[in-house]
């Protein structure tokens, strides 16, 4: 039998077996019973099917009375590091039934602000349906104002969640901090052509940043290993609209002569010229926008 011939529900249970064995080293019937609410007979069938599909992956441990990872183990499914870390730190799976606990001890950065779910739900529905949203928005510079926006994507900048949208008041595409937004209401009308994602130049422009170990570090090879650099360079393709966020989040020294002082600066932006015209570089460490003639929003 091939994976393509298996139902989606059973495929999810097989993925759970594969994941636990790969990252925790063992799987038992009780794991499947508690995770999916199935009977022991069904759990046994799932493990048997998994062994048929990947006969070299499991060995039975009589002391543990469960199956453990073999030396010849090869994962049956593909995983991304983001997916794995989220599963280990928050609980495996996408369902929201019951409580989820970390699979191993994990500590993640404290979240100081979180979007209100009713507000978030309106924005996500508008994005999905391609609709206009009326909002009240409180900005640092202008305080409270009424806006009509055309949202098209959520953005996590590492500190807070934004929604990227066309603002009819500013007549431009900008980022709105979701926690500063209130009373959203979907307008049952379709956006105009110049208000949609395809017209956002900063969003659609891709820039390649060349990051290298900061020249002031005594052992740059440590940073090269840290970021899996090739020939001493980490090339990162990002949208122009989020370039500033990435540079700030990773404390990348953007000065021309790598002159920023501080233990937090492990990386230096080698090709500053590639970011000419990127609008949100005002938040990038050491990037002198006025001197360079860059216009920031």
What ranges in 91-155 are assigned the alpha helix state H? 117-129
CB atoms within 10 A of CB 126: 23
Query: What value does the mean pLDDT take over residues 98-106?
Result: 72
Please report, for the domain that includes residue 77, its CATH number: 1.10.10
d(CA 76, CA 69): 13
Structural domain boundaries, residue 251 = 205-292
Is 219's pLDDT higher than 70? yes
Is 97's pLDDT higher than 70? no
Of the residues 90, 107, 135, which one is the last residue of a structural domain? 90
- pLDDT at 100 (0 to 100): 62
Burial class (CB in 10 A: 0-12, 13-18, 19+), 155: middle
Is residue 223 domain-resident?
Answer: yes
Is residue 97 domain-resident?
Answer: no
- Tell whether 19 and 74 lie within a shared domain: yes
Which residues are within 8 A (CB) of 115 and not within 5 positions of it... i.e. 6 or more apart? 161, 178, 179
d(CA 42, CA 58): 18
- Tell whether 214 and 184 lie within a shared domain: no
- Tell whether 215 and 193 lie within a shared domain: no
pLDDT tens string 129-176:
999 999 999 999 889 999 999 999 999 988 899 999 999 999 999 999
CB atoms within 10 A of CB 216: 15
Burial class (CB in 10 A: 0-12, 13-18, 19+), 213: buried
């Amino acid at each position: 039998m091939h994976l393509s011939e298996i139902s989606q529900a059973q495929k999810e249970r097989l993925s759970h077996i594969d994941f636990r064995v790969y990252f925790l080293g063992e799987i038992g019937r009780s794991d499947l019973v508690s995770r999916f609410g199935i009977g022991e007979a069904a759990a046994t069938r799932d493990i048997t099917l998994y062994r048929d599909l990947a006969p070299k992956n499991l060995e039975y441990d009589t002391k543990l009375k469960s199956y453990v990872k073999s030396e010849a183990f090869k994962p049956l499914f593909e995983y991304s590091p983001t997916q794995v870390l989220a599963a280990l730190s928050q609980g495996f799976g996408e369902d929201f039934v019951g409580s989820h606990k970390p699979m191993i001890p994990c500590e993640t950065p404290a979240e100081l602000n979180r979007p209100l779910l009713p507000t978030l739900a309106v924005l996500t529905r508008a994005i999905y349906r391609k609709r206009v949203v009326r909002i009240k928005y409180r900005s640092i510079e202008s305080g409270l104002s009424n806006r009509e926006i055309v949202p098209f994507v959520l953005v996590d900048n590492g500190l807070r969640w934004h929604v990227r949208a066309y603002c009819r008041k500013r007549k431009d595409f900008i980022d709105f901090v979701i926690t500063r937004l209130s009373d959203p209401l979907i307008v049952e009308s379709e956006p105009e052509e110049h208000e949609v994602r395809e017209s956002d130049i900063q969003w659609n422009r891709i820039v390649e940043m060349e990051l290298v170990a900061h020249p002031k570090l005594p052992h740059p090879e440590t940073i090269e290993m840290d970021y899996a650099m090739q020939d001493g360079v980490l090339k990162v393709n990002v949208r122009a609209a989020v370039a500033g966020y990435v540079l700030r989040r990773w404390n990348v020294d953007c000065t021309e002569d790598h002159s920023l002082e501080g233990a937090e600066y492990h990386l230096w932006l080698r090709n500053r010229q590639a970011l000419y015209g990127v609008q949100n570089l005002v938040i990038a460490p050491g990037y002198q926008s006025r001197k360079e003639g860059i216009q920031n929003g």
